[in-house]
């Protein structure tokens, strides 16, 4: 276990912790969906909450207090709403932990502890954002509740990058074909559920909307048949993520409908990605780490076909006051 984790867990042991709050904005908020899923399954007694950073401050929940641990994430550590949420949480007496990529950030300075992760293209999944968040959150439940799955999680995290690399090679042609097919689309929908919903959400709001200016929506597979499926026609582009966790039946149900109602369907099914090397009860947690890498690869291909660079084309973000 990393030294910075050990310092956090030592502090956690000193507190009478009753709740864990997961807090972020935008793509960093999306990272917390699989963490929330993992904690919901693994924790026995803790109250697990997930909030957009700005809403946490404005909503001002009564249960946020000195018995709370607040995990806040921001890649840059400079997201104003998240920094403000960290300050607010400390004022409420909560233990605050910032999970960031860069040193010397405002979030790291405000939080009692700062834990670093590596960028997805530069490190193995175990040291990437979700991998670090998983280790931190399950480490906390381990010291508080005696969970015995921490070591198993770490051992499986160490193996998942090879699965992701193999999947990127296996799906390269498929991703390229759909990037070319979808390059002129004005709207693209993404379906997912459970631990994998965050990957769809981030792809929709941060990649397609923010970076490519394509109208988009992440649709939860469980909500699909309560309105959204009415927009599906033969020429409506849909990306379907089919995970390996307890919510997979919802993904399969959504796929059964979508595959017969549109001709523009790109499917990424974790069942076909070599997860046999992973312990069965860990596969659902780790599928989002592979989906995320595949969607990033697809995004770069899509950007190339569109002639619309991923990180430099912005109308408003960092351009104007808002």
Alpha helices in the chain (DSSP H): 3-13, 26-30, 32-42, 53-59, 80-91, 106-110, 129-145, 150-170, 172-182, 197-202, 248-258, 280-306
Task: Please give the average per-residue pLDDT across 309-313, as a whole number.
Answer: 88
Structure tokens that stand for 87 in this block: 């300050």
Question: Is the pLDDT at 1 greater than 60, yes or no?
Answer: no
d(CA 53, CA 79): 9
Buried b (16+ CB within 10 A) or exposed e, 205-222: bbbbebbbebebbbbbbb
Q: pLDDT tens-digit profile of 210-230?
A: 999 999 999 999 999 999 999
Mean pLDDT of the chain: 96
End-to-end CA distance of the chain: 41
pLDDT band at 99 (very low <50, low <70, confident <90, very high): very high
Question: Is the pLDDT at 298 greater than 80, yes or no?
Answer: yes
Provide the pLDDT for residue 3.
63
pLDDT band at 295 (very low <50, low <70, confident <90, very high): very high
Cα–Cα–Cα angle for 285, 261, 213, rounded to 5 degrees: 65
**Cα 269 to the chain's mean position, in Å?**
17
Q: Are 27 and 202 in contact (CB under 8 A)?
A: yes
Helices 150-170 and 129-145, packing angle to 10 deg = 160
> Who's near 142: CB < 8 A, 6+ residues apart?
9, 148, 149, 150
As a whole number of Å, the CA-based R_g of the chain is 19
pLDDT band at 322 (very low <50, low <70, confident <90, very high): confident
Question: Is the pLDDT at 2 greater than 80, yes or no?
Answer: no
Q: pLDDT tens-digit profile of 28-43?
A: 999 999 999 999 999 9
List, in order of start, the domains of the chain with CATH numbers. Answer: 3-148 (3.40.50.10490), 171-306 (3.40.50.10490)
Tell me the whole-structure pTM to 2 decimals.
0.96
d(CA 107, CA 128): 18
Provide the pLDDT for residue 119.
87
Task: Please give the average per-residue pLDDT across 167-184, as a whole number.
Answer: 98
Q: Are 97 and 71 in contact (CB under 8 A)?
A: yes
Q: Are 149 and 50 in contact (CB under 8 A)?
A: no
Sheet holding 265-269, edge to edge: 215-220, 187-192, 238-242, 265-269
Q: pLDDT tens-digit profile of 54-97?
A: 999 999 999 999 999 999 999 999 999 999 999 999 999 999 99
């Amino acid at each position: 276990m990393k030294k910075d984790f050990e310092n956090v867990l030592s502090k956690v042991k000193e507190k009478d912790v009753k709740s864990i709050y997961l807090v972020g904005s935008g793509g960093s908020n999306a990272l917390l969906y699989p963490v929330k899923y993992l904690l919901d399954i693994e924790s026995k007694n803790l109250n697990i909450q997930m909030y957009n950073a700005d809403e946490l401050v404005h909503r001002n929940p009564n249960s946020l207090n000195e018995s709370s641990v607040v995990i806040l994430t921001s890649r840059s550590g400079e997201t104003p709403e998240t920094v403000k949420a960290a300050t607010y949480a400390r004022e409420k007496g909560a233990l605050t932990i910032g999970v960031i990529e860069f040193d010397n950030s405002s979030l790291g300075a405000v939080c009692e502890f700062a834990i670093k992760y590596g960028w997805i293209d530069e490190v193995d999944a175990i040291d990437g954002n979700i991998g670090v968040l998983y280790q931190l959150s399950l480490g906390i439940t381990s010291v508080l509740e005696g969970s015995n799955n921490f070591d198993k999680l770490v051992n499986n995290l160490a193996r998942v990058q090879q699965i992701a690399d193999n999947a990127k090679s296996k799906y390269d042609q498929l991703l390229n074909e759909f990037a070319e097919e979808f390059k002129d689309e004005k709207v693209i929908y993404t379906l997912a559920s459970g631990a994998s919903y965050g990957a769809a959400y981030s792809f929709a709001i941060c990649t397609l909307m923010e970076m490519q200016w394509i109208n988009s929506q992440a649709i939860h597979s469980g909500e699909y048949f309560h309105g959204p499926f009415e927009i599906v026609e033969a020429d409506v582009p849909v990306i379907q993520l089919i995970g390996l966790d307890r919510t997979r039946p919802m993904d399969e149900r959504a796929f059964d409908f979508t595959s017969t109602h549109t001709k523009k369907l790109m499917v990424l099914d974790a069942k076909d990605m070599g997860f046999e090397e992973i312990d069965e009860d860990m596969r659902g947690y780790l599928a989002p780490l592979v989906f995320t890498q595949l969607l990033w690869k697809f995004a770069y291909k899509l950007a190339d076909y569109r002639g619309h660079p991923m990180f430099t084309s912005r109308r408003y973000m960092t351009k104007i006051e808002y």
